[in-house]
Structure 1
Amino acid sequence: MSWLWLLERKLVETLLRSPTFHRSVQKVHKQIHHLQHGKPPEYYGGTNLEDPASNGGVKSFVKLFWDELKSGHKPEPPKKK
């Protein structure tokens, strides 16, 4: 029975060294993770809160905050059919 054990060992080593096997395991892991936790925002294009021209930071935060204060959370007018 030792020859069967040696054959199994060699096959397992070959499988674990295979990049194709590792890619397929990563793919399955990614799909299971997305099923359990949902897809990340980057998959849908991200949140994209910052203006590409600005560097972010305090200046852009103050501008966004001021725009929200000016809008005052006004409800949108009803749509006419």
Structure 2
Amino acid sequence: MVFHLFGLRALEVWLYSRLIRSPIFHQMVGRVHRRVEQIRHGIPPEESRTKLEGSGSLDKFVRYFKEEIQDQMKGKPRNKL
């Protein structure tokens, strides 16, 4: 009987460690936490800052980055703000 409980405990520890190391689990917990905070504090859902809206955004970034590198190579970085 004792060995049977030991086997179940070992299985529980193994499953727990797999769950904790899973990135999908952490994403799910993050979504639940964000939703609970929105409900508790009435904060509107924020837009994801990591998504690129269409392929045009990437093209604009690459063009801007290229201009900045060229300006710095010339020794005259410009203030674009």
Give the TM-score, by structure 2 length.
0.49
Q: Which structure has the larger Rg?
A: 1
Give the TM-score, by structure 1 length.
0.49
